[in-house]
Amino acid sequence: MENLIGFVTLLILGYVFGRLAERRHFRSIIKREHQYAGTLTFSAKTPPADMAVANARLVSGNVVVSVDYFKQVLAGLRALLGGRVSAYETLVERARREAILRMKEQARQLDAEMIFNVKLETASISKGEQQQVGSVEVFAYGTALVPQKTATASPNLGQPMASRESA
């Protein structure tokens, strides 16, 4: 009986806090994605031929997101029955978008407009270990291209890219 109580308690804790954390994270992701919408990302290897590039730098963003107890149980049951592991879909999506955001943040600091050859690496931490909380790591990296500045070196750092493009 103690086992059952412990199990249900952990399940409820995992559900409540996991959901709160997830909602908060998604809100933050959506907000920052709007903020960094001007920094364009592409998987293509080569930049446009007509682009005057002053500098090309490797930028990267890394994030580790942990799974809550409820999701773990849900995924465990899913492993018995098969089908979409929806419990982990949001987890991986959050990690992916967060990693790209962190990479964009770095690019923004370099004053870059575009990131080419963007790639994502995913790793699961503590995979296969029993009684361990599983977490997912997503690493995003790419080549940030800093355009040549015009003669009037304007301190436009931090301004949205979109407005600079039209300038």
CB of 150 to other proteins, least distance (A): 19
User: Measured from the CB of residue 147, what is the shortest distance to other proteins in angstroms?
Assistant: 12
Q: C-beta of 140: minimal distance to other proteins in Å? A: 14
Nearer to other proteins, 130 or 150 (CB): 130
Select 49 or 151, whichever has its Cβ closest to other proteins. Answer: 49
Amino acid at position 151, single letter? A
- 13 vs 77, beta carbon nearer other proteins: 77
Long-range CB contacts (< 8 A, 24+ apart) of 121-127? 122/92, 122/95, 122/96, 125/64
What residue ranges bind other proteins (CB under 8 A)? 1, 3-4, 7, 15, 19, 30, 37, 40-42, 48, 69-81, 84, 86-87, 89-90, 93, 114, 128, 130-131, 134
Contact criterion met (CB below 8 Å) for 113 and 161 = yes
CA distance 52 to 35: 25
User: What is the SS3 assignment for 33?
Assistant: helix
